[in-house]
Chain A
Amino acid sequence: MRNGETGEALIGAMLVVKELPGTGVTSNAYGFYSLTFPEGFYTIFIQYLGYTTRKDTLHFYHNRLINFDLTPEPIRVGEVVISGERTNANVTSTDIGVNKLEVKEIQSIPVLLGEKDILKTIQLLPGIKSAGEGSTGFYARGGGTDQNLIVLDEAPIYNSSHLLGFLSVFNSDAIKDVKVITGGIPAEYGGRLSSVLDIRTNDGNNKEFGGSGGIGLLASRLTLEGPIVADQGSFIISGRRTYADLFFKLSSDTTINRASLYFYDLNMKANYTLGDKDRLFLSGYFGRDNFNYPNTFGFNWGNTTATLRWNHIFGDHLFSNTSFILSDYEYSNSIGVGTSQFDITSGIKDLNFKMDFQYFTNSQNTLKFGVNSIYHTFLPGTVTAGSTSFTNSLTIENRYALENAAYFSHELDVVSGVKLNYGLRFSIFNLLGPAHIYSYDESGAVVDTATYHSGDFIKTYTNLEPRVSANVLLDATSSIKASYTRTTQYLHLLSNSTTSNPSDLWVPSSTNVKPQLADQYDVGYFKNFNDNQFEASMEFYYKNMQNLIDYKNGADILLNQNVEALLLYGRGWSYGSELLVRKKYGQVTGWVAYTLSKTEEQFDQINNGLAFPARQDRTHDISVVAIYDYNSTWNFSATWVYNTGNAVTFPSGGYLLKAENRWIPLYTERNGYRMPAYHRLDLSATWKLGPRSNLNFSLYNAYDRMNAYSINFRQDPNNPDKTEAVQTTFFPIIPSVTYNFNF
């Protein structure tokens, strides 16, 4: 199923057969569908949000391959929406804890400085919480920021932030579809504990050349797309760059005008259709951040991914996708002046092979199965120093690992109105040589060293991960769903900062570090109102997590061969309820999301072994999103967020260190205090200047709430005999304007 104007494959378009109630199918991530029913004349409807519903009466006999082109809807103004156009897929599917964002929603919700950003926008969904203002990191149902599997065209992204987290690496111009799963994670996804963020990029227009772009305060964007061979293949190139540093060039100061501060990213994709049964995709992402202040410091980091995919249809029912994926994350930091300068580099590289099959037996059964094999190379850190530098060169040994998985899942209609999706993922993780593996005693001292050679299997972990979800339809507009999900995570992110730091280190499971495990139970009630115009859901979840990682006090993670000696292991649990009411159609669209939850952790060596609220614990979390298509010229949007302040550790006493002449805070319970509640309103207006351009005005933090980024305790600098609490606010009211165009 495709967009009739651009040839773009449509993900999740729904085909229903009028004469056979309950018979329908949804197109997969590549726009493919397969449906089996008896021969005859049938009327079919194909529905997709934002597109005119297509109705065809066709004669179906033995096997037919039919490609459907859908036409995007014109701008709707005060229109009466035809019933039957609206789908109730959210009620009838077995998806639970799953949210999809429409591109239109992402495009209408500016997040900061007029830039659109999916990682910020998904934080407005229930169950997903921001890891901090200005951060692209997010917590999914009490999970850490490293427990989210973020895949861009099937390639895992290891660091998804630009500018230390102000923006994500995903250029919204290149994005076709975004799906976030925090509940029932299907068996085809694995490797992370708490969520999946599956991002698909546009294929490019295969009918005509075109482009679009935008000029904002922070960055400018340009996208070009067009056919390689009309109707057979297309390409798309989408780029973005910030230009704050161009102002440095104007400085007369010779140091400042050589400084750089920018990021760029480039998404490229080409696809080619080889006959009816085969399609090839080649896509790549290149992004880099660069901060450099001459003679003082510089650091830069970036992700590179390349994906080659081959879609093949075996017979009429079996769809396959084979992918070869390369992911590379690299960080480098240069410190010092002139000849004493030295560089620190670290990173992670993946070679990834995936085969996924989807077998459409009949309209009541769909089978999915596949394999995945990833070869990881971890580069924890290398110091390169010039010969005159007073720093020595140093390399922390690389680690190598193989992460394999095989899965199947079966979705079936057990009886009319009862759907079951059961699956199993089997994962194997091998830590491979060459390596020197240390064992540690309680105090973290090395007690033994084992030497392994290339090809040696150092440590193997295997896990069975059952995934089950079920749907019981109560009537045409309501259902009850439930799921159980076990997930395993073999890679761990070591970080000692709240923001996503480019120097954060990914490490493998090993003899000392066990894989993290999670079991999640989820039940929900789903109900649509007013002929599917409103979707509502209420979900309850309980998640239990094992082998979580924290650090000993003062742990120095950077360039430490014995980093595993600094880790502490514990467990965590999270439970809560999530309420979502969403209006999908009409002049005003949007949603209200409310989450009530609790997340706690317990480590034997922290907080005297007592459970404490996790950093990601937020009792209340509310998001309100409204998008208003006022007329053909003006579009407005507003978002309001409120959440309970983070759990933090504040002092519960003080004492004087005489030699330092300093009043020292005394800490007792971990995370025993709360930051002030956070709330913020953002407003945006888009003025269409013509069919091909618009101006967007936005106001971040419209009522200028002084939200606390941090609260620090210190001696008053003007009166050392007094102590005070100082709150820092980073984001006051910020207006911005962006010009967008296409051609």
Chain B
Amino acid sequence: MSGAPPETNFRAEELLANVIAGLIGEARHVAVGNASPIPALAAMLCRARGNGRPYVSVLGSRADNFFSDGGRELFDCAGQGRVDVFFLSGGQIDGQANINLVSVGDYQEPKARFPGSFGSAYLYFVVPRVILFRLEHTRRTLVEKVDFISAPGTSPANVYRPGGPIALVTNRCLFAFDRARARFSLTSVHPGHTVEEVLANTGFAFDLPDQVPVTPAPSPETLRLMRETVAPALAPTYPKFAATVFGIESRPATATVIPGPDPGQREALHPGEGARNP
């Protein structure tokens, strides 16, 4: 397609998912936490391209989640090195890739309180490739120093740490993270955004190459795969996202059934379950 004009008919979500899919690269198992539709889209895109590999675990999904031993299984799996890629975010993220999911201001007398650290204080250490994803790219979110370290970006050499951040994806750009130097560098700026805008809206210092390319647009083949194959598979877990971004109207979440060999057996397990649904 050399010489063809850049594809401009795509949504920001599709661009971001394509960027994240490139960061995922080769992996055996990609896990996606709750409330992460764009990372889930990216992971499932990789799976669609790889004919079923990597394994993708989408928390909150029924079909795309093989865990059967409670909440511990993801963490135990990750602790063994069986999760290659995970996604984390932060109310604040700083230039050393420390993330804050707890509070702004003094911890004992916070000005603002976020929900909490979730699994970050562990997964950031044990998952080899953690991709930071924060749509809001402002000086409020990307700060010089976080007010609370839910999980540090780097650790001293003697701390067990096979994992850590590799990149930060925002609505404006892609940063790569250098663990040895504990520093971000600007990799590319998304179409429609500028380096000046990134500088103006980033609260931490980062390496700035002389030439910063524009983030490549998703190819027509990628867009087709995302729209026709991946988005419908994502819709049961993220119905609002699939409807808003891809116009896919899915059945509501009431359509949960116990998987079983035949409907008669389901009925035996849950006699009359449908009758209680509003």
Do A and B bind? no
Listed in ascending order, the chain A residues whose CB lies under 8 Å from chain B are none
